[in-house]
Structure formats: C-alpha cells, structure tokens
A and B are shown apart, each in its own frame.
Chain A
C-alpha cells in the first residue's frame, strides 16, 4: 500500500488552531468574573499524565525521582515547582505540568516518565486532552463551590495544597486547592461547558450588592 497520510512530523504545528474545551466561554468568564470577590478563568492545554504505579515498588521510586515524589494518601499533592502529582487512588496519580512540558511542544516529561517506568508494572498515559482546568479565585470562591460540592471546604479541614476527587454540580472533578482562596478544578473536557456555565451561574449573586 502506498502511503496515504503525510507523516505527522512534517505538518506545521499551528497552535492557534487549538480549541480548548471551554473556549466558547472565555468572553463570559471575563465579563462575569466579579473582580476582587470571585474570578473564573480557564487554564487551557495543561500537560496531564496518568500514572498507575505502586509507589513502594522499584518502578514507583524511579517514577517518583522524575516527578519529585508521589503523594502518599488521599488529598496528597507532591512535586516541587511547576510539575505536581495529584493522588487519585492507592496506585493512581495525575501529573499536572505546564503546557510546554508536552512532547508535541518539545517537552520531555512524558518520555522521562516512560523511561523511568521502563518495564516495571504500571502505566504512563498522556491524558492532556482528557481534562481542562478551571481556576476559581477570590474570597468568595469557597462559597461558590459549596453550592454544589458535598466536601467540607472550610479551611480548617481542607488545607491549601490538597487535591480531592469529588463532584461539583454533579460533575465528577478533581478539586485542587492551590492557595487559601484559589481552587483548580479539573473537569473532563465534555463536561467543561456545563460546569463552566454552572460556576458562572453560582457566581452571579456576588455581582450584586450584598443584601444586609
């Protein structure tokens, strides 16, 4: 058979053609964010890698040396700087890294993880297109999330630097508290539109003056 498709390597990478899962809401995120109270934005195209490895095995320790550690238990987040590893299950982790870490942009994170795992028991899967990232920030962000999340989000229970799989507005997400008033929400791409609109609706009341 003759080659029918051009090799992918020759194709020009036109990054402006990429469409993020909540791109259609970008203008709404801008206009409906309440400055100083609660602001919502999409952080598109983060590099995400699904890891399945026993952290106590040899392969797990090799992988941990690449990521800067693997979290030990529920809610744990490991890793210094821009690359973080979120705990999803006893042997399941999600690596979140900046866009540039993706191999299509010249990054070597995924390749390094594959090489660290080698033929050990486990998986390294590029899941960058699986989820998108919302960033909810501001002093009212907890109140917005509490409208649709059954977890106790009070700061004395949920500390900054904790990531939990849960549901927000009936959508399964990973909720990562990155700062005192900052949350990162990882919904799957197909739920991004719904969850984005749900969050905008939940934020709407804070645009009005507070009723004493």
Chain B
C-alpha cells in the first residue's frame, strides 16, 4: 500500500486515490491535422518507463482534486508531488536552472492550496531522468 501525500489533505492511503495515467501528455494543437496513426498515438500510446515516471492522481475519496506525482516504477518511491500544469520537476533541460519547478499557484485544480512541496530541491545538474535526491517532503 502506498502512502500518498495529497497536496491538500496530507498523507492518505492509496485506496483513497485513483490513478490517472501518464502526466504531461499534451493535447494536439490542431487535432484535425493529425493522421490516424498520430491520433492513435496521442490517445493510446503511453510510455512504459522503468524508473522515475510522471503520472496523474486523483484524490477521489478526499478533496477530489487532481495532482501530479513523480514515482519510481521500480521501487515505488514517491519522489515529488506537484500541481497540475506545472512542469515535471526533475526534467534535465538545456539550461542549468531548468530543474526548478514553478511554485506559482496557477493550477486550475488545486485552487489556493498550492503544495509546499515541489521539485525545487532537485538541482539541474542531474543529467539522468532518475534523480536520486527526493525533494523535501516527497515522503511526508
């Protein structure tokens, strides 16, 4: 059983949550321009990552809000919980400071209660997608 830290409610049992699949799957900008193959890939094709995986979760029994979570698919370690709409905290980007996630409470689903935890403690120096340093509060 996972103990998941909901940004609004704190730590709750996994049974209170529903899994929402892979996070950061952007809706195509111009869906009508896609061919069948591309449309099928948008709808059905998902990563099958071994290691850190960004996924969506819904606290369906509690506050009924969606949030994103970075979870290791091997160890089940929850590395980060961050609001919908903010970038993945551990993404190694071109700029060194790209590893810092936005802490702005601009999420449409979490309202005013932006989580205190975001991936800010992960420095941009990690080049692999599997970061070993969990952000503060990830296992709260």
A166 adjacent to chain B (CB < 8 Å):
yes
A73 adjacent to chain B (CB < 8 Å):
yes
Instruction: Check A90–B16 contact: CB distance below 8 A.
Output: no
DSSP class of B's interface residues: helix, strand, loop or mixed?
A: loop
* Number of A residues, CB within 8 Å of B: 17
Binds A, one of B47-55, B105-113, B123-131: B105-113
Interface size class of B (residues with CB under 8 A): 10 to 19
Docked complex: B90-116 residues within 8 A CB-CB of A: 110-113
Q: Mark A48-91, 1 if CB is under 8 A from B, else 0.
A: 00000011100000000000000001100000000000001111
Which one, A54, A55, A74, contacts B9 given CB within 8 A? Answer: A74
Known: A74-B8, A167-B16. A89 touches B112 (CB 8 A): no
Q: Can you show 29 pairs from A to B with CB atoms below 8 A apart?
A: A54-B111, A55-B112, A56-B112, A73-B113, A74-B8, A74-B9, A74-B10, A74-B62, A88-B64, A89-B63, A89-B111, A90-B110, A90-B111, A90-B112, A91-B111, A150-B12, A150-B15, A151-B12, A164-B62, A165-B61, A165-B62, A165-B63, A166-B12, A166-B16, A166-B61, A166-B62, A167-B15, A167-B61, A172-B61
